[in-house]
């Protein structure tokens, strides 16, 4: 699937700035209009009945329940963790979410509150959200999060370096963070697609992150608009699909920011299903980074279950 070197030779791609550049710029271009049209068409799929219930529950399992505010406190994180364990206290059959996502200083609180639940604690790191810090600082950020018990690290790439063409620098930074994760934490690489501006860049950044060892590629910090959009999701899903075809290595995609309705979540699952493939429809390979999405999923699930439309007051706000 990969054009520049043969798939077996992917390992040499990042041996120099120029070979990395040749590889990334040798990837097929993305026609924006065509990509948007394809994503829009998939968004018209009509998911009903049992397939909808399954999708709603799977979407709940795929959520990284997130709070990334200056006003975050241990109390807020504990409340979120409780919600993560039991999203719908009135219905014990509701599955837990995948992870709680917080700033490094609150990792300890989250880990403690989630102990025994199977819900992961993810921490943003590397001078989130801008990534504007020295590499050493970023690595300390990561190390502290891991030391506090985070088993998932959501790093940001250096968009400035990417946009100015210092691709190897971006690559090596991801490699360094991956090393810092030391096998104890999964690495999600935030591309901040809203700042990359073109789908060609999204594709290149996706491959760059995958080549550097990112376990997930993630759209956004949630601090930049636009965040996750259907065509961006499409291109990133194509990247993990093609990467798997080239290397046999299955990596994940996380969409973060802007996904608030259950309807959109189900549509994105259609995208996952028909672009990357059914293989990706698990929390190990697909995540939603969200906060308010969860309650809408719960509400829609209840509607499907009871046959009556529900209301927001029946779901907890944390």
Partner 1 sequence: MTGSDERLAVLKTYKLYIGGKFPRSESGRSYAVSDAKGRFLTNAAQASRKDARDAVVAARKAFPGWTAATAYNRGQVLYRVAEVLEGRRAQFAEEVAAGEGLSAKRADAVVTQGIDRWVWYAGWADKLAQVLGGANAVAGPYFNFSVPEPTGVVAVLAPQRSSLLGLISVVAPVIVGGSTAVVVTAQDRPLPAVSLAEVLATSDLPGGVVNVLTGRTAELAPWLAGHMDVDAIDLCGAPDDIHADLERAAADNVKRVVRAPLGGEPDWTAEPGLHRMSSYLETKTVWHPMGV
Partner 2 sequence: MAWEYAPAPESRNIARLRTSYGMFIDGAFTGGTGGSFKTVNPATEEVLAEVAEAGQADVDRAVAAARKAYDKVWAPMPAAERGKYLFRIARMVQERSRELAVLESLDNGKPIREARDVDVPLVAAHFFYYAGWADKLGYAGFGPDPRPLGVAGQVIPWNFPLLMAAWKLAPALAAGNTCVLKPAETTPLTALVLAEICQQAGLPPGVVNVLPGAGETGRAVVTHPGVDKVAFTGSTDVGKQIARSLAGTRTKCTLELGGKAANIVFDDAPLDQAVEGIVNGIFFNQGHVCCAGSRLLVQESIADELLDKLKGRLATLRLGDPLDKNTDIGAINSAEQLAKIRELSDIGDAEGATRWSPPCELPEHGYWFPPTLFTGVSQAHRIAREEIFGPVLSVLTFRTPDEAVEKANNTPYGLSAGVWTDKGSRILWMAQRLRAGVVWANTFNKFDPASPFGGFKESGFGREGGRQGLEAYLCAGDGRSGT
In the complex with partner 1, the residue whose CB is nearer, 32 or 179, is 32
76 labelled catalytic: no
Give the E-state strand segments of the chain in sequence order. Answer: 63-66, 99-102, 120-125, 152-156, 186-190, 216-218, 252-256, 286-290
**Dist. CA 178–CA 186, nearest whole Å:** 8
- Binding status of residue 69 toward partner 1 by CB under 8 A: no
Write b or e for each residue in 73-87: b if 16 or more Cβ atoms lie within 10 A of its Cβ, otherwise e.
Answer: eeebbbbbbbbbbbb
Among residues 28, 34, 89, 226, the one that binds partner 1 under rule CB under 8 A: 34
- For 219, phi then psi, to 5°, come to -70, -50
Residue among 31, 69, 91, 284 that touches partner 1 (CB under 8 A): 31
- Judge whether 48 counts as a catalytic residue: no
Q: Phi, psi (5° rounding) for residue 69?
A: -120, 155
193 contacts partner 2 (rule: CB under 8 A): no
Site for partner 2 in 42-81 (CB under 8 A): 44-52, 54-55
Closest distance between partner 1 and the C-beta of residue 255, in Å? 21
Which one of partner 2, partner 1, none interacts with residue 313, CB within 5 to 8 A by kind?
none
User: Is residue 35 at the binding interface for partner 2, with CB under 8 A as the rule?
Assistant: yes
Beta-strand (E) ranges in 46-166?
63-66, 99-102, 120-125, 152-156
- Those residues whose C-beta lies under 8 Å from the C-beta of residue 19, and which sit 6 or more positions away, are 12, 13
Contacts (Cβ under 8 Å, ≥6 apart) of 153: 122, 123, 124, 125, 142, 145, 146, 177, 181, 185, 186, 187, 188
Among the listed ranges 46-54, 194-202, 241-249, 292-300, the one in contact with partner 1 (CB under 8 A) is 194-202
* Residue recorded with tokens 């990837």: 27
Of 31-39, 86-94, 100-108, 109-117, the window that binds partner 2 (rule: CB under 8 A) is 31-39
The answer to the question of residue 301 lying near partner 2 (CB under 8 A) is no
Q: Is 32 in the site for partner 1 (CB under 8 A)?
A: yes
Nearer to partner 2, 147 or 245 (CB): 245
Q: Are strands 152-156 and 186-190 parallel, antiparallel or unpaired?
A: parallel
Residue 38 binding: pick among partner 2, partner 1, none (C-beta 5-8 Å cut-off by kind) = partner 2
Q: Closest CB to partner 2 among 5 and 160?
A: 5
Which residue is associated with the tokens 């996706």?
206
The reply on whether position 133 binds partner 2 by CB under 8 A is no
Q: Assess 34 for contact with partner 2 (CB under 8 A).
A: yes
Closer to partner 2 by Cβ: residue 78 or 251: 251
Q: What is the DSSP letter of 99?
A: E
Single out the catalytic residue among 64, 88, 141, 154. 154
Q: State yes or no: residue 91 binds partner 1 (CB under 8 A).
A: no
Residues of the chain by 3-state class (helix, strand, coil), percent to 5: 55, 10, 35
The verdict on 36 binding partner 1 (CB under 8 A) reads yes
Catalytic site includes residue 223: no
Q: How far is CA 67 from the centre of its chain?
A: 14
List of residues contacting partner 1 (CB under 8 A): 31-34, 36, 197-199
List of residues contacting partner 2 (CB under 8 A): 1, 3, 28-31, 33-35, 37-38, 44-52, 54-55, 238, 245, 269, 273-274, 278, 281
Residues marked as catalytic = 154, 218, 254
């Amino acid at each position: 699937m990969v054009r520049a070197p043969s798939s077996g030779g992917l390992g040499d791609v990042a041996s120099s700035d120029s070979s990395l550049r040749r590889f990334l710029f040798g990837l097929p271009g993305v026609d924006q209009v065509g990509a948007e049209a394809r994503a829009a068409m998939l968004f018209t799929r009509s998911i009903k009945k049992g397939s909808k219930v399954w999708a709603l529950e799977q979407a709940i399992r795929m959520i990284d329940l997130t709070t990334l505010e200056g006003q975050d406190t241990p109390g807020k994180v504990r409340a979120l963790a409780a919600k993560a364990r039991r999203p719908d206290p009135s219905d014990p059959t509701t599955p837990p979410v995948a992870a709680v996502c917080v700033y490094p200083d609150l990792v300890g609180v989250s880990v403690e509150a989630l102990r025994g639940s199977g819900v992961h604690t993810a921490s943003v790191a590397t001078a989130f959200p801008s990534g504007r810090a020295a590499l050493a600082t970023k690595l300390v950020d990561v190390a502290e999060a891991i030391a506090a018990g985070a088993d998932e690290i959501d790093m940001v790439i250096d968009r400035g370096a990417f946009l100015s063409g210092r691709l190897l620098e971006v690559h090596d930074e991801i490699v360094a963070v991956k090393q810092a994760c030391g096998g104890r934490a999964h690495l999600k690489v935030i591309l901040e697609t809203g700042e990359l501006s073109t789908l060609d860049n999204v594709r290149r950044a996706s491959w760059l992150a995958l080549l550097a060892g990112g376990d997930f590629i993630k759209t956004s910090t949630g601090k930049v608009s636009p965040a996750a959009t259907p065509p961006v999701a499409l291109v990133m899903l194509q990247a993990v699909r093609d990467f798997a075809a080239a290397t046999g290595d299955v990596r994940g995609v996380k969409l973060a920011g802007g996904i608030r309705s259950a309807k959109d979540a189900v549509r994105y699952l259609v995208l996952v299903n028909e672009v990357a493939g059914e293989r990706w429809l698990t929390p190990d390979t697909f995540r939603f980074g969200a906060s308010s999405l969860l309650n809408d999923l719960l509400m829609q699930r209840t509607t499907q279950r009871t046959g009556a439309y529900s209301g927001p007051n029946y779901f907890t706000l944390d």
